């Protein structure tokens, strides 16, 4: 039986950079597309010889559900979700000094303005899981999640990592935290007005996160 293509859907600011460093240790350079933009990956893959196409075993990146359509082989996904309020706070303070597009556009942008400006700050997690051109709904997300081996929880990173190790037989899961947003306030230090706005703009993310977290805890108990 042909082995499944393993796709790590990296949702920004969920601990994915750290997780990706662990994930890619299992593959040679010619076996994984590691954060290669969609069009570049499509063009590169289309030009490979058939025997070289078979060598591709893994994909990682900020891709939307549906990336598997580029490859004619069985597939599975995994990802991490984070408390949506914590994630939006982290996004704002991380991107505000991210060189290039974000730094230039966000230099004088308030947190409240950012929440309405950046699509990532409005149900960004369920958007990736539903697919780029799909209507956002819990039903669609839950349907797509049926092909995800693991959906970890950022707030339970070590537990998530152990489940992933067992599912995919990873040998080395040692890590150091990467891409951490250092200069950000705690959630208790953010104004209630901002928190309410984040909640309003992320209602679907919050519902999906609670659903995933409940299932994740059940999965952990079964693994004990």
Domain range for 161: 5-84+124-180+205-223
> Who's near 140: CB < 8 A, 6+ residues apart?
130, 131, 134
Q: How does strand 75-81 pair with strand 58-61?
A: unpaired
Each of the 224 residues of the chain gets a pLDDT tens digit; together they read 568 999 999 999 999 999 999 999 999 999 999 999 999 999 999 999 999 999 999 999 999 999 999 998 999 999 999 999 999 999 999 999 889 999 999 999 999 999 999 999 999 999 999 999 999 999 999 999 999 999 999 999 999 999 999 999 998 888 878 777 767 888 989 999 999 999 999 999 999 999 999 999 988 888 76
Total of domains in the chain: 1
Nearest to 88 by CA among 116, 62, 129, 128: 116
Residue 155 counted as domain residue: yes
Residue 185 counted as domain residue: no
> Who's near 105: CB < 8 A, 6+ residues apart?
117
Q: What is the pLDDT of residue 1?
A: 56
Strand partners, 61: 9
Running DSSP on this structure, what letter comes out for residue 178? Answer: -
Residue 190 counted as domain residue: no
Residue 70 counted as domain residue: yes
Residue 43 counted as domain residue: yes
pTM (2 d.p.): 0.92
* Long-range contacts at 184-192 (CB < 8 A, ≥ 24 apart): 184/89, 184/90, 184/92, 184/93, 184/94, 185/89, 185/93, 187/85, 187/86, 187/89, 190/89, 190/111
Nearest to 164 by CA among 178, 174, 150, 153: 150
Residue 192 counted as domain residue: no
Residue 117 counted as domain residue: no
CA 187 to chain centre: 21
| Residue 40, domain CATH | 3.40.50.300
């Amino acid at each position: 039986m042909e082995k499944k293509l393993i796709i790590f859907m990296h949702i920004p600011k969920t601990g994915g950079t750290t997780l990706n460093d662990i994930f890619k240790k299992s593959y040679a350079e010619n076996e994984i597309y590691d954060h290669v933009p969609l069009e570049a990956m499509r063009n590169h893959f289309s030009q490979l010889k058939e025997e070289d196409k078979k060598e591709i075993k893994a994909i990682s990146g900020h891709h939307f559900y549906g990336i598997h359509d580029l490859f004619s082989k069985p597939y599975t996904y995994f990802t991490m979700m984070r408390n949506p309020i914590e994630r939006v706070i982290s996004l704002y303070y991380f991107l505000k000094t991210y060189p290039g597009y974000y730094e230039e556009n966000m230099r004088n942008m308030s947190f409240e303005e950012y929440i309405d400006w950046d699509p990532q700050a409005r149900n960004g997690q369920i958007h990736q899981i539903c697919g780029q051109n799909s209507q956002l709904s819990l039903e669609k997300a839950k349907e797509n999640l049926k092909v995800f081996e693991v959906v970890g929880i950022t707030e339970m990173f070590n537990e998530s990592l152990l489940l992933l190790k067992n599912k995919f037989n990873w040998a080395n899961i040692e890590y150091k935290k990467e891409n951490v947003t250092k200069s950000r306030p705690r959630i208790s230090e953010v104004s209630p007005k901002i928190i309410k706005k984040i909640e309003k703009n992320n209602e679907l993310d919050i519902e999906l996160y609670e659903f995933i977290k409940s299932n994740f805890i059940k999965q952990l108990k079964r693994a004990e």
